[in-house]
Amino acid sequence: AAAAAGGRFSLALSGGSLVGLLSRDLPAAVAAAGPAAPASWLVAFCDERLVPPEHPESTCGAYEVS
């Protein structure tokens, strides 16, 4: 609703079991929002570990693999 009203939708992604849940359900939510909607989304990865994306414990890397 925020993005549709001309605002921004912000989403901070953590790791753990959320990776599997969002990997399964987020693509359908994006498709339902319409093709232009993700352009107004701000997506951030929340990761307390200082590791590169390709590291096995990286939150960003976990989403890329899923």
Q: Does 2 reside within a domain?
A: no
In a domain, 32, yes or no: yes
pLDDT at residue number 3: 65
Q: Is 4 within 8 Å of 10 (Cβ atoms)?
A: no
Residue 55 lies in a domain: yes
Q: Is residue 21 part of a domain?
A: yes
* pLDDT given for residue 36 in this prediction: 62
Band (57; pLDDT cuts 50, 70, 90): confident
pLDDT tens profile 7-55: 777 888 888 888 888 888 888 887 887 766 677 788 888 877 788 878 8
In a domain, 9, yes or no: no
Structure tokens, 34: 């319409």
Classify residue 43: in a domain, yes or no: yes
Domain that holds residue 56: 15-65
Residue 5 lies in a domain: no
The answer to whether residue 48 is domain-embedded is yes
Q: What angle do CA 30, 38, 56 make, to 5 degrees?
A: 80
The pLDDT of residue 25 is 86
What domain count does the chain have? 1
pLDDT at 14: 84
DSSP β-ladder status, 9-13 and 41-45: parallel
